[in-house]
Every structure is written in structure tokens, then in C-alpha cells.
Amino acid sequence: NTYNEDSNGVHVAAVAAMISGDQSYFYRVGFYGYQDTLWDDRGRHYYKLCTIQGAIDFIFGDGQSLFERCAISVIGGGFITAQGRDDANDPGEPSGWNTWNSEGNE
């Protein structure tokens, strides 16, 4: 994703990849962006040894994903993801993404 490369210091959201298929598999893929880098839209996805980098809520969507031994890097002091609950007291469903065996979560 080179969307922000010549933006004179102004960063805007740009999706590097939108994943909507079911049972998608990614091996050693790099997803680089600033905001909204990886749109894990819907379906079940498996990421192994991937690199995902961004600054603001850069992994998002309603997919159910497993990230095995992936390097997930925050640049600029932002957040990896934002929860999508309607109510702060809602515990949410036991689904979503999992960073099993990722760096720092072995």
C-alpha cells in the first residue's frame, strides 16, 4: 500500500487488503499501511508468519481470524484494533481474531 507515500506528511486511511472470502489462507504476506490496513471483512481467515503494520485501528472487520506467529506492529503510538460493540457493557461474542503464537504472545 503506497497510498500515503507522497502525501506531504498528511496521513489518510487506505485499505491495503479487504478479505471477504471464507477459509482464506495467507502465508508470509506483508500488509503495510497507516489506518485501516487490513479489513478482515467476513469469513474465516488464517494468517501465518505474516507482517501487519499500521498506526490507527489497522486490523478491523467482522471476520473470524487466527494470526499464527505474525508480527503485528503499531507505528505512531496508535491502536491495533477498535472494538465494534454497540454498548460498552456488552461482553461481545467469543469470536474474532486471535494472535496465537504471535510475537510477544508465545
Active centre residues (catalytic): 57
Contact by Cβ (8 Å): 34, 55: yes
Partnered with residue 65 across adjacent β-strands are 45, 97
- Determine the Cα–Cα distance for residues 81 and 63; give it in Å rounded to an integer: 13
Q: Spell out the residues 6+ positions from residue 79 whose beta carbon is closer than 8 angstroms to its own.
A: 56, 57
Query: What CA–CA distance (Å, rounded) separates 22 from 85?
Result: 23
